[in-house]
Amino acid sequence: MGVRALKNPLDAWIYQELLCRVRPDVVVELGSAYGGSTLFFCHMLDLLGLDAEVVSVDHTHAEFKAVHSRIVKVTGDTRDPDVVARVRELTTERNAMVIHDASHEADIVLQDLRNYAPVVGPGNYLIVEDGVRDYIAGLPGPVTAVEKFLAESDGFEPDPECERFLLSFNPKGFLKRRS
């Protein structure tokens, strides 16, 4: 739709399946860059006829180009207590899906998972993107954070069905909240 999106198309396919299955009231996207994926989520929600918002959280929205009535921007560091509080306010008593595409440093991702996991609705997803970085760069990143998070939290489990196309930028990153 004319706005740059930095997503693997096979992961985008999984996203549309998950949106259809869990029918969230709100999608929280931590890290939005240009807004292409934000706009994608908005259009998927349009097609599903859902009355849902997409909360775009980014340290800056200077390069953000997406425009849609569903978008709610929250600008600031994902770990800032005011940002976390604002997202919690926007998701209170709503079935939320959270997609983490902010910093890919393991320690920061882990902090974000701890901060935003509580807003994810039962049966919904906390998705951690770009874990492929751990394998390509050989540095601790999203996969390392996911493994630590799962070791300390029994509220989520990986959903391997979301990786059935064998090429995902989000290995071990599709975490389903237990009911």
Residue 94 lies in a domain: yes
CATH of the domain at 38: 3.40.50.150
* pLDDT at residue 179 is higher than 90: no
Size of the chain in residues = 179
> Per residue in 94-153, pLDDT tens?
999 999 999 999 999 999 999 999 999 999 999 999 999 999 999 999 999 999 999 999
Residue 162 included in any domain: yes
Question: 115: burial class by Cβ within 10 Å (0-12, 13-18, 19+)?
Answer: buried
Whether residue 3 is contained in a domain is answered as: no
- 51 burial via Cβ count (<10 Å: 0-12, 13-18, 19+): exposed
Residue 2 lies in a domain: no
User: How many domains in the chain?
Assistant: 1
- Please say if the pLDDT value at position 1 is more than 90: no
Inter-residue long-range contacts of 75-84, CB under 8 Å, 24+ positions, other chains counted: 78/30, 78/31, 78/102, 78/103, 78/108, 78/112, 78/115, 78/116, 79/108, 79/111, 79/112, 79/115, 83/57, 84/115, 84/116
**Residue 106 covered by a domain:** yes
Q: Tokens at residue 12, please?
A: 């985008």
Q: What is the pLDDT of residues 29-88, one digit of tens each?
A: 999 999 999 999 999 999 999 999 999 999 999 999 999 999 999 999 999 999 999 999
* Structural tokens at position 142: 């999203």
CA separation (Å) from 18 to 47, 116, 127, 145, 175? 13, 19, 11, 22, 12
pLDDT in tens, 14-28: 999 999 999 999 999
Domain that holds residue 108: 9-177
CA distances from 104 to 8, 112, 131, 139 (A): 16, 11, 8, 10
Q: What is the mean pLDDT of the chain?
A: 96
Residue 43 falls within a domain, yes or no? Answer: yes
